[in-house]
Amino acid sequence: MWPMTQSGSLVPDEQVVLRMHPHWKTLIRPGLLLVVIVVAALALAILVPYGRDAALGQLAIGVVAVVAILAFCVHPALRWWTTSYELTTRRLRLRRGILTRSGRDFPLSRISDVSFSHGLIDRLLGCGTLVVETAGEHGQLILTEIPHVQQVQDAMFRLVQDEQERLAREG
């Protein structure tokens, strides 16, 4: 999370305040699985008996290991990398997707409440769940694994207040 300057597709006078990915803790499981898959593949490759069929067995183990790494390690890492949350002076922007992208924008003027929660492990790791209440069809937006969730909630609350004051002055 860090202050940003102008970004593409922003309206005039809109500034990016925060830009972040989900918390790095979402990468712990894929990282552990990577270690387990590599160790298991190496152990199985060593245990394959020597002979004519050894190369074929080792190739099969390697192919299965690569597929498992792609599915259980690379895919979650790419999903983490391509998911972003952006808080601007006018809206909350969500972007995600590896091959195809999707996005949702929530105008700050429609946000009625912002709260957070985090358990003991989340507090130790510095993350949590952000709950954003919006007027309209979306209702409640729950964002999990938000880094520095309390600071994000504070910033969002201040920006919502500022946006409401700006609209009242203009209206």
Each residue of 47-64: pLDDT tens digit?
887 777 788 888 899 999
Please report the pLDDT score of residue 134 as a whole number.
87
Please report the pLDDT score of residue 4 as a whole number.
41
Of the chain, the end-to-end C-alpha distance in Å amounts to 33
Question: By the 8 A CB rule, do 146 and 23 touch?
Answer: yes
Strand partners, 117: 129
- What does the pLDDT average to over 136-150? 88
Q: Given a cut of 80, is residue 7 above it in pLDDT?
A: no
Please report the pLDDT score of residue 1 as a whole number.
43
- Compute the CA torsion angle 10, 15, 21, 23 (nearest 10 deg): -150
Question: Sign (positive/negative) of CA torsion 25, 27, 31, 36?
Answer: positive
